[in-house]
Structure 1
Amino acid sequence: MTSANLDREMHLLSLFIERVKDQRYAELVSPTISRQMVVINLRNRQLTNSHLDSMSHLVLTLYHNLVTGSKDFPHILFKGLFHRDQVTTPFVHVRLSQRENTTPSPPTDSPAGMMLPPAGSSSHPRFLTPVLPEKAALAVLKADRRNCVRTLTVDGLPVTRVISTVYRTVDTEMTNRWRVTDYSADGRVLMSVLCRFLKTSAKGAKRKAPEEENSIRSPTPLRKRFRI
């Protein structure tokens, strides 16, 4: 079983802001409008609930980049609700022992880190990101200025999160696209996803997102809910 035979696992993350706690970012979003972000799993291992939940603050972090173009990727505290909903998954009828292919996905043999598009999107171009190997020296990841490296805790364990710029060509950066990869303390990949905001969420940003398909709608009812 290879990833080419499967649709990518996809989740819709929805953030409903009551108040942004840090006044520096108080004008970033309107409290009356939700922000919805699509997360596409780039690996052949199912995403865990803990890693999805750890992305609650990432929604505002990436939205800040979309609005301002800043590569600071700040951690923005907020009061509100976070929802996550699975849109598609290839893992329903797959045995647990077969859920991780021995071939990494996406491949990292290209100098720029060629990224495969989601299955079923053959009309979409391939994407380029900095190389993010299966096992890495964190100092090397930090040395690449196209990466933003942050530390956090997931399930009580330290995790290094790498937010990477995505390019259409070597010199052309894409708007409203990010690759987010988590590494364990010993440098092993735990998660690697492609993120983008829905068009309805991105249209209020100052920087215009490129034209893209918006075939995903928020499921009803939202199944997962907890308060930050």
Structure 2
Amino acid sequence: MAFAGFFREKHLLSIGITRVQEPFGCMPIPGKGLQLIVTNLRNRPLCESDILSMCDFILSLYHNLLTGSKDYPFISFDGVFLSDEVVSPFPSSQSENNPPSPLTEAPAGVMVPPAGSSPPNMLTPVLPERTELGVLRADRRNYFCDLELDGTTVTRFISPVYSSECTELTNRWRVTDYSEDGHLCMSVLCQFPKKVAQFARPPRPEKRKYTEESSSSSSSSSQSPPKKRLRL
């Protein structure tokens, strides 16, 4: 249940692109950059390394938006990266206020993300506070890879987001990091702004309406013109 007046930490991540490395150099991109909205689903602030680690995945998520591919390839680029904290509900010093949950051996099904997330009725695969990484890797809905952050190895999972009718939503991803011993380190909801999503979506062909008028005009045009009569 979402509580009135409850806000979650949000960041706007921007990359200015001068060149995308091959074989993705021909990937269509609106303008010369991309922006990604990141919503923190934890009850503690994101650290700088969390934000920086998302930079390398902006193009990967955009590739999924364009193609629907679940591989999320690493796409390097030449350019700049900027981050802007849009919403910050935390005081200057805020510690984790979620107590660790017991070890979950077999997460299954889908779960509702924490209050204040958007959209309010979305669902994601279960990503508990602590679990066996092998269980999450075995869930085919999750893409995973290993990263080096602050000198430690974390496993990053990219999970789909579903509507309340269990239909997978486009332009929504949950990105979650786990430590080697299965503790959840970071979990964010990602989406591109509306303009980016509209650019990535191919235009639908316009449906032509069939009317009696168009039918009669086409029928008359298909007939041979009347013969001219000679005057005596």
Q: TM-score, normalised by structure 1?
A: 0.78
For 2:87, the equivalent position in structure 1 comes to 88
Deviation at 1:143, TM superposition (A): 0.7
- Give secondary structure in 1 for the equivalent of 2:163: strand
Cα distance in 2, alignment partners of residues 167 and 53 from structure 1: 27
User: Counterparts in 2 of 1:189-228, with a 5 A limit?
Assistant: 189-206=184-201
Over the aligned positions, Cα root-mean-square deviation in angstroms equals 2.3
Cα distance in 2, alignment partners of residues 191 and 207 from structure 1: 33
For 2:18, the equivalent position in structure 1 comes to 18
- Give secondary structure in 2 for the equivalent of 1:115: coil
Cα distance in 2, alignment partners of residues 142 and 157 from structure 1: 19
- Give secondary structure in 2 for the equivalent of 1:26: coil
Deviation at 1:102, TM superposition (A): 3.0
Structure 2 stretches lacking a partner, 5+ long: 102-106, 204-232
- Give secondary structure in 2 for the equivalent of 1:96: coil
- Give secondary structure in 1 for the equivalent of 2:199: coil
Deviation at 1:118, TM superposition (A): 2.4
Counterpart residue type for residue 109 of structure 2: P
For 2:175, the equivalent position in structure 1 comes to 180
User: Counterparts in 2 of 1:11-160, with a 5 A limit?
Assistant: 11-23=11-23, 25-30=24-29, 32-92=31-91, 95-97=93-95, 99-102=96-99, 111-116=109-114, 118=116, 124-160=119-155
Structure 1 stretches lacking a partner, 5+ long: 209-228
Counterpart residue type for residue 169 of structure 1: S
Number of residue pairs aligned between Structure 1 and Structure 2: 196
Deviation at 1:206, TM superposition (A): 3.2
Cα distance in 2, alignment partners of residues 110 and 147 from structure 1: 12
Cα distance in 1, alignment partners of residues 169 and 126 from structure 2: 17
Q: Which string of whole-angstrom CA distances, capped at 9 and with x for unpartnered residues, describes residues 27-64 of structure 1?
A: 22448432111000011011001110011011000000
Q: TM-score, normalised by structure 2?
A: 0.77
C-alpha contact 1:69 1:207 (8 A) present in aligned 2: no
For 1:220, the equivalent position in structure 2 comes to none
Q: Which string of whole-angstrom CA distances, capped at 9 and with x for unpartnered residues, describes residues 174-210 of structure 1?
A: 00000000001111000000000001222210358xx
Using a 3 Å threshold, how does the CA distance of structure 1 residues 170 and 153 change in structure 2: closer, same or farther?
farther
**Percent identity over paired residues:** 47
Q: Which has the larger radius of gyration?
A: 2
- Give secondary structure in 2 for the equivalent of 1:204: helix
C-alpha contact 2:45 2:94 (8 A) present in aligned 1: no
